[in-house]
Every structure is written in structure tokens, then in C-alpha cells.
Amino acid sequence: QSALTQPRSVSGSPGQSVTISCTGTSSDVGGYNYVSWYQQHPGKAPKLMIYDVSKRPSGVPDRFSGSKSGNTASLTISGLQAEDEADYYCCSYAGSYYVVFGGGTKLTVL
Amino acid sequence: EVQLVESGGGLVQPGGSLRLSCAASGFTFSSYEMNWVRQAPGKGLEWVSYISSSGSTIYYADSVKGRFTISRDNAKNSLYLQMNSLRAEDTAVYYCATQLSYGSFDYWGQGTLVTVSS
């Protein structure tokens, strides 16, 4: 299984919206509604932001939303805030209990 | 409050072994599926292994299959990862994490660093 493809970096100004894409195949992203997104600040453990494509865990602001179309999943962050600057990773179930992550995207808040 | 605390990391020579532990508290450990996820220095996340709540079902990433063994002791609220035949490419921070659904991990420990080097 190959890693999911994410842009290396994205940026936006405070208050704007940014979207991070995550491209896989019909064997992972496209085949299951089990895509999750993680936020990771430097030196910290990852934090679950979205699961099952578009569900938000308790405590995650509704500025964070997830979606999927075909083999590509997306994380949208609206109303960007300084504290959103972090690395973001997508993750997908790939069948036969295999899980694959994306390479990560560095979000810079300008 | 859910807490996961990993321990057991350190420096080990190539070909050596190490056993990681993850102590769980603040939730009913025996009801949760658990995973190990690792992150090489400056790199992305990589899923390593899964174990069902009872311990009866186990899966591994191809990169560690045959070398790593996941286990749990529900009486001790603990998760383990026995790592044998370690290679330089196993160098990473190892996290234990609870599973919310397929491929989603809602609670993570702080991680323990494993360095494989001569």
C-alpha cells in the first residue's frame, strides 16, 4: 500500500479558508468512508480532527470540516486562526485491516 | 480523563530487541481496540499494528510483520509492543492510540522514542 498524496504545504491569512486535499485510490479513500484527519503541533502527539470522512469528535471546532469525492478527501478549515498552524495528516482504511496515512501538509497562517 | 503513557523506548543496536509498554487510565481499557502508530524523525505517521479489545484479533503493517508482536493485558490496563530484529528504519517515536473507528484514533499517548543505531 502506498501513502496517500497530500500537498506539502498550504497557507492562508487569518479569517480565510483553506482546503487540504488527500488523494488515494479506489482501494483506500475511494473504497471506504473511513477517512480521518489529524492535526499535529511540533513536538506533540497527533490530535483527531475528523473521522469517518466528515464527523467531528467532541471538542473540535465546527470550523473544521471534511468531505470526500471519489478517491480524494478534503479537509477545510474556515475562519483560520493562528493556532491552526500545524501539520495535518489524512488517514484511510484500506481493507483487510490496513491503514494508510498521507505524507502530511504543513499549514502556515500568514 | 483518558491517559495513555508509553515507556520502554531507548537506544538499541541493529538486530536487537525492545519491548514498549502503554499504560492506560481514565477509561475502560478492556472495551477498546488499540493501535501502535510510529513517526520517524521529521517524517509522517505510519500505522504499525492493531489489536482487538479481547486480544483475539491482531494485524500488522507489512514493514513490521514477523518482527513485531502486539499484545495486551486487560487486567493491568496495558498494551505492549515487542520489537525484535530491529533495523535503522524502525527509528521513530512510537505512539499508542485508542481506536474510534476503522483507521481513526481518538486518544494518543505522548510517544516514546526508539533509536536503532550502532
Cα(A22)–Cα(A39) distance, integer angstroms: 14
3-state secondary structure B53-108: CCCCCEEECCCCCCCEEEEEEHHHCEEEEEECCCCHHHCEEEEEEEEEECCEEEEE
What's the Cα-to-Cα distance from A85 to each of A11, A64, A65, rounded to whole Å?
9, 13, 16
User: Considering only CB atoms, which chain A residues are within 8 Å of B47?
Assistant: 91, 98-101
pLDDT above 90 (res A96)? no
By C-alpha distance, which of B5, B28, B37 is closest to A48?
Answer: B37
Instruction: Please tell me which residue of chain B has the smallest CA distance to A33.
Output: B102
Cβ neighbours of A38 in B, within 8 Å? 45, 105
Q: What is the 3-state secondary structure (H, E, C) of A32-75?
A: CCCEEEEEECCCCCCEEEEECCCECCCCCCCCEEEEEECCEEEE
B-chain CB neighbours of A35 within 8 Å are 103
Interchain pair B103, A103: CB under 8 A:
no
Q: Which of A45, A61, A93 is nearest to B22 (CA)?
A: A45
The pLDDT-based confidence of A91 (bands split at 50, 70, 90) is very high
Cell numbers 470526500: residue: A68
Local confidence pLDDT in tens for the 118 residues of chain B? 999 999 999 999 999 999 999 999 999 999 999 999 999 999 999 999 999 999 999 999 999 999 999 999 999 999 999 999 999 999 999 999 999 999 899 999 999 999 999 9
